[in-house]
Copies of this chain bind each other. A is one copy, B any other.
Amino acid sequence: MTSVFDTLTKEQHREVNRQFSLFSMGAAVIIPEEELKAKIAGSILTNKPLRIKLGLDPSAPDVHLGHTVVLNKLRQFQENGHLIQLIIGDFTGRIGDPTGKSAARKQLTDEEVRRNAETYFRQFGKVLDMSKVELHYNSKWLAPMQFEDIIRLSGQITVARLMERDDFEARLAQGKPISLHEFFYPLMQGYDSVVLESDIELGGTDQQFNILMGRHFQEKFGKEKQVALLMPLLEGLDGIEKMSKSKNNYIGIDEHPNEMYGKAMSVPDALMHKFFELATNLPADQLQKLKRDMEDGVLHPRDAKMLLSRTIVEMYHGAEAAGMAEHRFQSIFQQGALPEDMPEVRWPGGKPVSVVELLTALKLAPSKSEARRLIQQGGVKLNGAKVTDTQLECTIGEELIVQVGKRSFMKLRAD
């Protein structure tokens, strides 16, 4: 039997291997690997781009770093000439969950779906070249389907196969109800791949079942089967749960550079390399060097984390904003450890006040003379910077952190 690889030139062979190792990088599972390679080879031989599918839930349009794991992978495909197919699952979103048993899924209006999709696309533009992306709403082919079509679709899948999905299996075992209509979600997602003739579908590892439905239905409907390329799930800042808006453990790609930098600095050490690999666009060789340096102790975890934070801010706000965020973070936070639960106080902004007066007014010093003594001893910091001049006046801008000794902090906000 001849294979597609036999007809490749040496140069084409190298190109197949280059793309294959690039696309495989960081992936958790590829089902099946050899088909991915064959598809890349076919694409190079015929000079036709591969169709790379990503399905999107229209109900949660705030994009965070957890989402960018697949977006970064899509960008690699795009940069190598392949075609990105984004599918908004508006049909699912418009229907919602009729049983009301899953609190997470509420019925969306057409208008909400459209607006959420626009929010998505604007944010995706920070990672992908949206002018080269195909956009699809699956209501286009799902809404007009009639009972007869649905019976035919349902005839191509067994109940036992659907029950294999982890959450269905667990709920049935626990005696928790599964509404019949929930079986349609994987069916719809699978049928989308039939309609769009996708070559590869991307998703997190939690999407394995649904993405394999695409392979199943493509085969049943006489199409070439797509490859499932599953990326690891990125944990959130708590280091435990999957990053998600509902857990409030996320870094949103629309967040302010300072906020983004600060959040990235709180990534647990154990997850740092994972964040480098999945949430940045650093090239493979640099990632390897970073990993080695961290393991050898050549690179201090704090420095590594600053590089991570700067890289992430730079990806979404540019180099200048990243530099400013880093500088600010250093000046405020890095001279000493700050507690997370500082008391906050409102203070009239824009009006100069002497530091001595400030300390007594805030009851951080019992008297003006004591306040002066504290300054002279080097025990007072403003925004992390030691105060040495007992005559110093300051003006409260947006925010000022006042520190006395090692343990007393107060955050002032301009009124």
Q: State the CA gap A156–B180 with chains docked (Å).
A: 8
Cβ of A157 within 8 Å of any chain B Cβ, yes or no, is yes
Cβ of A151 within 8 Å of any chain B Cβ, yes or no, is yes
Q: State the CA gap A148–B97 with chains docked (Å).
A: 11
Cβ of A178 within 8 Å of any chain B Cβ, yes or no, is yes
Nearest-neighbour CB distance to chain B for A388, whole angstroms, equals 70
Cβ of A181 within 8 Å of any chain B Cβ, yes or no, is yes
CB 8 Å contact bits of A132-147 with B (1 = contact, 0 = none): 0000000000111111
Q: Which residues of B contact A156 (CB under 8 A)?
A: 98-99, 179
Cβ of A120 within 8 Å of any chain B Cβ, yes or no, is no
A147/B148 contact (C-beta < 8 A), A156-B98, A159-B172, A177-B160 known: no
- Beta-carbon contact of B183 and A152 below 8 Å: no
Q: Which residues of B contact A154 (CB under 8 A)?
A: 179-181, 183-184
- Beta-carbon contact of A147 and B158 below 8 Å: no
Q: Which residues of B contact A168 (CB under 8 A)?
A: 159
Max chain B C-beta neighbours (<10 A), residue from A145, A151, A153: A151
Which 5 A-B pairs have CB atoms at the shortest separation, nearest pair first? A98-B155, A154-B181, A154-B180, A155-B181, A158-B177
Nearest-neighbour CB distance to chain B for A185, whole angstroms, equals 10
Nearest-neighbour CB distance to chain B for A99, whole angstroms, equals 5
- Beta-carbon contact of A97 and B155 below 8 Å: yes
* Interface residue from B97, B144, B151 paired with A146 (Cβ < 8 Å): B144
* Interface residue from B150, B155, B177 paired with A150 (Cβ < 8 Å): B150
8 Å CB interface, A162-182 against B: 162-163, 168, 172, 175, 177-182
A residues bordering B, Cβ < 8 Å?
Answer: 91, 94-95, 97-99, 142-160, 162-163, 168, 172, 175, 177-184, 187
Between A and B, 27 residue pairs with Cβ closer than 8 Å are A91-B147, A95-B151, A95-B152, A98-B151, A98-B152, A98-B155, A98-B156, A99-B156, A143-B147, A143-B148, A144-B146, A146-B147, A147-B150, A150-B150, A153-B181, A154-B183, A155-B181, A157-B179, A157-B180, A158-B180, A159-B163, A159-B177, A159-B178, A159-B182, A160-B175, A160-B177, A160-B178
Q: Which residues of B contact A142 (CB under 8 A)?
A: 147
A159/B145 contact (C-beta < 8 A), A95-B151, A151-B98 known: no
Closest to A91 in B: B147
Q: State the CA gap A180–B157 with chains docked (Å).
A: 6
Q: State the CA gap A187–B178 with chains docked (Å).
A: 16
Closest to A179 in B: B155
Nearest-neighbour CB distance to chain B for A352, whole angstroms, equals 65
